[in-house]
Structure 1
Amino acid sequence: MINYRAEYRALTSKKVKIKKRLKLYKEYLRLIEDAYNLRQTDHALSDFSEFRATKVLHQLNKLKFIIGDSKLQAN
């Protein structure tokens, strides 16, 4: 017998992870753009933004490993 509740939880969990991945990706792009824009005016802030972007990228890579590199999109 198929356990529908477990399957539903697995699908819901995957959707949540995909949404989180999209949110992290947008944050990563914003941080990289900020770092680039700050490069000419404030080196310290640029470095800090790059550091934060690196941390976000690490989180993205962990999620990518967990859910796989699928092209699925959360509806």
Structure 2
Amino acid sequence: MKPIDNIKNKQLKLIDKYKVLIEEAYNLRQTDSALSDISEFDAIKLLNKLNRLKYLSREFKHQVAS
């Protein structure tokens, strides 16, 4: 498997986790604001990882094209 494929697979898994955490945060907003905040914080951390992977995949594509 190519490294770019590994990055894409990791991105897809993180996107799924991100969606679950955001939905959980939204659903908990009215009943338990503390748990909602924790879930949202975890989602933000995942979004940061996604952004780094996006940068990596862009750099990898750039190196392959050169």
TM above 0.5: yes
> For structure 1, which runs of at least 5 residues remain unmatched after alignment?
1-10, 71-75
1:44 and 2:30 aligned: no
Let me know the Cα RMSD of the aligned residues. Answer: 1.4
Answer 1 or 2: which has greater helix percent. 2
Deviation, structure 1 residue 12: 1.3
Percent identity over paired residues: 51
Bigger Cα Rg: 1
In the superposition, the TM-score normalised over structure 2's length comes to: 0.84
Partner-residue secondary structure (3-state), 1:45:
helix
Q: Tell me how many residue pairs correspond in the alignment.
A: 59
Q: Which residue in the other structure is 1:58 paired with?
A: 48
CA deviation profile, 1:13-60 (whole Å, cap 9, x unmatched): 111110000000110011000000000100000000000000000000
Aligned match of 2:4 in 2, 14, 17? 14
